[in-house]
Amino acid sequence: MDKEKNMNNKKNANKPDSRLDCDVVIVGCGVGGLYSALNLDHSKKILMLSKDAVDICDSMLAQGGICVLHDEGDYDAFFEDTLRAGHYENRKESVDIMIRSSRDVINDLISKGVEFERDEKGELTYTKEGAHSIPRICFHEDITGKEITTKLLANVRKLDNVSIMEYTCMTDLLEDETGRICGVLAEKDNSSIEIYAGDVIFATGGIGGQYAYSTNYRILTGDGCRIASDHGAELEHMDYVQIHPTCLYRKKKGRNFLISESARGEGAIILNHKGERFVDELLPRDVVTEAIRKEMEKEGVEYEFLSFENVPDEVIRNHFPHICETCLEDGYDIFREPVPIVPAQHYFMGGIHVDSNSETTLPHLYAVGETSCNGVHGKNRLASNSLLESLVFAARAAKKINSEEVV
């Protein structure tokens, strides 16, 4: 009798507290998740899950900007820059799709209220970052990610067919009796929820929360990759992790503050403790990171320096106000002195293997953004390709789902 009672208690303990039904559940509310929702048919009932508050996502942290094909003559150079930065391990089909889709994405963002820097004639202004052969990056001050994410979120909130659940953590995928993915299991306020859906989109971000030093929010712990793998989804290049060379050195623990690569694109230089330059600042990120680490080891120090001495004051004020403010809060005036910098984990090029429509090897499970690996970035991401890649392939996931009749 006691054995039967214990079995019943165990069964009840695993029973979900509630059930929800929708057409598509999107796990994650960064640009990948938001843009997926905006591109799905408005006839579909969509539920979005945010592990923390909706604005706690790495998309909000992107500083430098978003790449775009400058003009038709830029295609070959853009393609080569992306491959060269990725050590030629990129999936060429994906790179081609991203580049050819880039102008439409920028135009769509503008139509949704995103404001990019413009010149006196009202034309878009482009900046340059490391490993780019020409300026092709649209930006909004040094908070481009926040500008894009905030505007996309505002557009999503206007949709009657989309609901957002904050502080809700996905804990597993749901499968039907045939093994087909049919939703997710989640937890909110210590209660479990079964969420059934015809299609699932993972937009759960990267893995930076697993590192002691990272520019990522601590909540990014690779949940999507782990759970997808548990159900048999193929993963790809899980060891391809990018370290950003210029993060503000600080002894206090917590998320590392990134100093955008666009600062070096505008003329900021890297110095050692003797005030000497020791690396070409516009080389790919992995090369610059290696040079800084070797110099730190050579000098026996914990950091090197980034100097804005060659950057005009007007550019600092207009392009890098947030960086300026944050450095000042830490006691460094970038108008007058170099700031200490150190490399830190920044981006994940691997993830859940997806095809050109962002579909995983499990039917009806899609992955977008940093959670996915569509091969665009190869072994090392080209600066400011992350926002673009997320948006392009989020839209493709949505369009693939729109074209299919959910059984």
User: What residue type is 327 in one-letter code?
Assistant: C
Q: Catalytic residue among 91, 136, 264, 285, which?
A: 285
Q: Which of 45, 50, 42 is nearest to 22 (CA)?
A: 45
- Residue 76 CA to residue 83 CA, distance in Å, equals 11
For the chain, helix, strand, coil in percent to 5 are: 35, 20, 45
110 DSSP assignment: H
Q: Is 91 a catalytic residue?
A: no
CA–CA gap between residue 295 and residue 289 (Å, rounded): 10
| Max CA distance (Å), the chain | 83
Is the distance from CB of 264 to CB of 246 less than 8 angstroms? yes
Tell me how far apart the alpha carbons of residues 166 and 6 are, in angstroms, rounded to a whole number.
34
- Quick one: how many helices (H) and strands (E) in the chain? 11, 18
* Polymer length in residues for the chain: 407
Q: Distance between the two ends of the chain, CA-based, in angstroms?
A: 43
Distances (CA, A) of 159 to 146, 155, 210: 20, 7, 34
Sorted by sequence, the CB contacts under 8 Å of residue 17 that are 6+ apart come out as 191, 192, 193
Q: Please, which residues have CB within 8 angstroms of residue 14's CB and are 6 or more apart in sequence?
A: none
Tell me how far apart the alpha carbons of residues 263 and 270 are, in angstroms, rounded to a whole number: 11
Q: Which residue has the tokens 């929800």?
A: 20
Instruction: Give the residue ranges of DSSP H helices in 249-385.
Output: 261-265, 285-299, 313-319, 321-329
Rounded CA separation 226/211 (Å): 16
Residues annotated as catalytic are 285
